[in-house]
Amino acid sequence: MDIIVPGHGSGGKLMNDLINHLIKSTLGNETIQLDDAAHLKLTTSSIAFTTDSYTITPIEFTGGTIGSLAVNGTVNDLSVMGATPQYISCALILEEGLEIETLKRILVSMEEAALKAGVAIVTGDTKVVQKGKGDRIYINTAGIGVFTNPLQRREIKPGDTIIINGSIGDHGTTIMALRNNLTFSKGLSSDCAALNHLIEDVIRHYPEAIKFMRDATRGGVASVLNEITKNAPFGAKLIEDNLPEKDEVRGVADILGIDPLYIANEGKVVIIADRSHAEGIVEIMKKHPEGKDACIIGHITEEFSGKTYIQTKIGGKRILPVLIEEQLPRIC
Amino acid sequence: MDIIVPGHGSGGKLMNDLINHLIKSTLGNETIQLDDAAHLKLTTSSIAFTTDSYTITPIEFTGGTIGSLAVNGTVNDLSVMGATPQYISCALILEEGLEIETLKRILVSMEEAALKAGVAIVTGDTKVVQKGKGDRIYINTAGIGVFTNPLQRREIKPGDTIIINGSIGDHGTTIMALRNNLTFSKGLSSDCAALNHLIEDVIRHYPEAIKFMRDATRGGVASVLNEITKNAPFGAKLIEDNLPEKDEVRGVADILGIDPLYIANEGKVVIIADRSHAEGIVEIMKKHPEGKDACIIGHITEEFSGKTYIQTKIGGKRILPVLIEEQLPRIC
């Protein structure tokens, strides 16, 4: 049996074999049982809870798979709240016909991502849908993180600094290039990564300086900033000269006519911080592999309040509008 | 705009409008913000964590929708562990072309189910897939429950009693009848219901007597018992005369050649309890609407160890084998 058949979702022996011999044995670890529901002990009763479904196509790409993406995305959603990610669930929707070998590679990449992030996959579910009612595999991961030292809410003010941990648009551009068979783009790779260690390090060193953190996924860096500036008494100014962009990303984005500021990232966090500690935060980030290209990309301003805008290389200013239509479906 | 389009999953304005004006306004409550991740305070640090994706077709049926099913299923998974369900996540995978009105009805049924069960839907996610890559709507719900008075693990022994809270096979039979256009089956209705109040009441009265609890979903009552008896030093005997079955269910099951013991339920819990308190447990169950037809359906035995079997109406005994193949895909 080397493909998924409807019986793998039946509640019978086929399903039990799949779960026990492939899923549990790949994802399980020695201390925690992957069962219908997991019984967990937390170190605190103040928690963060999040969920995301992943429907990306293709399901395997340079720099990751739908499995590592699902783990890292949920880890990052918890981390940007200031929580320490601990437990992840894994719910699979498998399309009839998916090769078991492919499923195995994806599960292995999930487990590797979980180990790297230091989280445990503790509970799961498997459903099978008929051919043509899915797209090989969809994965939902929910996650629980604990607040050991919760971040205080601090008011964003003109003068605050906008920081990112590295180059923008890598994930979405990699996926677009794959889908469009842009073969010259061999240097492209998704930035898919867990940011919890980097973020925890920043919080540990500068707990007072951080005003806002968000991972810049769907809609990219511009959409994260637009969410903050919407109806706000301040604007967000990006400085084009400072934006870290890889040449390959810029090249593909130009061909496709898309602005990298709106392209999804899967390993990038935007931080708004007090100006006096901005350089220190960048230095901390640079000590982590996921932050080696960290830099300051802009500031919170009094002008253009309610808007996100960019100061271009030639010195002009341009509003970055709220994204309305789809740039690229199923990027995550 | 009255159907789902790709832009509803883009991270832009269309998605924000859908989330704010339909999803949050339907599912949200006043105290808890439905955001990327929720910050929650628990009453204890000992928790249960579970996840399930729901891919049922049809998405609306007599007695429920994919939405109420998703809430009740996750509530029940937590309840049978002895946990008190508190928080639910809601991740939607919407197929392009789904009518917004249908989505709204499903969200309303989720919120009604959550209110009835006393749980809060606190975090969510929305993805859109192209036409032909899904089946209108798939929903994942993860859930967190707290252990206030955790159930102790107690050894199942010959002489223990097998109890159920009502008629078997209602959910799966309703779905099969709908799919097969069996129009004579108008009396059929899914048993889709949250069992947390009933289960908590049983635990409160008989904390020492309960040895095992499980909701009998995919694979039905027979599969729950087969899971317990597999490699065990005891057998599980069901008494056919005692099995609560509705006439309509028996009729449809006979036509389709399926045994109701293997048909999915969505509001039934199987309890194995010390014989001395079995009648008391049944009495408690009967006080709840979800338990009005509760009864004893069998016993744990020394004979046929490792097997689940049935004593038929004519006095014979028949093994109920482990289900191997699919009876009905996408029943939940």
- Cα of B98 to nearest chain A Cα, Å: 14
Q: Which residue of A has its CA nearest to B328?
A: A10
Per-residue pLDDT of B192-223, as tens digits, reads 999 999 999 999 999 999 999 999 998 999 99
For B149, half-sphere exposure in the C-beta direction (CA atoms, 13 angstrom radius) is: 10
| Largest CA-CA distance found in chain A, in angstroms, rounded | 67
CATH of B6-146, one of 3.30.1330.10, 3.40.50.300, 3.40.640.10, 3.40.50.1110: 3.30.1330.10
- In chain B, which segments carry CATH 3.90.650.10? 161-319
Give the CA angle between residues A226, A259, A228 to the nearest 5°: 10
**Shortest CA gap A275–chain B (Å):** 27
Number of CB atoms found within 10 A of residue B311's CB: 18
Q: How distant is the Cα of A289 from the closest Cα of chain B, in angstroms?
A: 26
pLDDT of residue A203: 96
Q: Which two tokens stand for residue B75?
A: 């509530």
Task: With beta carbons under 8 A apart, name residues in chain A contacting B5.
Answer: 326
Mean pLDDT on A26-41: 73
Residue A31 has pLDDT above 60, yes or no: no
Phi, psi angle pair for B3, to nearest 5°: -130, 160
E strand or H helix at B272: strand B269-273
The structure's pTM equals: 0.95
pLDDT tens digits, A68-92: 999 999 999 999 999 999 999 999 9
Positions of E strands within B84-240: 84-95, 120-129, 137-146, 161-164, 210-215, 235-239
> DSSP string spanning A155-167?
---TT-EEEESS-
Q: What is the mean pLDDT of residues A102-122?
A: 96
Distance from CA of B63 to the nearest CA of A (A): 22
Residues in A closer than 8 angstroms to B213, CB to CB, are none
Per-residue model confidence as pLDDT tens digits over A201-223: 999 999 999 999 999 998 999 99
Cis peptide before A207 (omega within 30 of 0): no
Q: Do B91 and A223 touch (CB under 8 A)?
A: no
d(CA B189, CA B252): 12
How many other CB atoms are found less than 10 A from the CB of residue B135?
A: 21
Q: How many CB atoms lie within 10 A of CB B183?
A: 8
Residue among B35, B53, B152 with most chain A CBs within 10 A, to mutate:
B53
Residues of chain B with pLDDT under 50: none
Give me the mean pLDDT over the A292-309 stretch.
97
Cβ–Cβ of B49/A13 closer than 8 Å? no
- Give the model confidence (pLDDT) of B218-239 as tens digits: 899 999 999 999 999 999 999 9
CB A326 within 8 A of CB B6: yes
Out of A40, A92, A134, whose CB is closest to B133? Answer: A134
Choose the closest CB to A11 out of B54, B81, B323.
B323
- Percent of chain A predicted with pLDDT > 90: 77
What separation in angstroms does the CA of A122 have from each of A23, A36, A306, B133? 12, 9, 42, 28
Tell me: domain A161-319, CATH 3.90.650.10, correct?
Answer: yes
- Structure tokens that stand for B11 in this block: 């991270």
What pLDDT shows up at residue B30? 52
Give the C-alpha distances (Å, rounded to integers) separating B253 from A34, B171, B183, B189: 33, 12, 14, 14
Which of B53, B81, B324 lies nearest to residue A13, judging by beta carbons?
B324
| CB burial string B59-75: b at 16+ within 10 A, e below | bbbbbbbbbbbbbbbbb
Q: What is the pLDDT of residue A263?
A: 94
According to CATH, where is 3.30.1330.10 located in chain B?
Answer: 6-146
Rounded mean pLDDT, A25-46: 77
Give long-range contacts, CB 8 A cutoff, 24+ apart: A199-202: A199/A79, A199/A80, A199/A269, A200/A79, A200/A84, A201/A284, A201/A287, A201/A288, A202/A271, A202/A281, A202/A284, A202/A285
Which member of B48, B132, B264 has the closest CB to residue A37? B48
> What was the pLDDT predicted at B25?
86
From the CA of A122, how many Å to the nearest CA of chain B?
8
A83-112 mean pLDDT:
97
- Among B42, B134, B217, whose Cβ lies nearest the Cβ of A134? B134
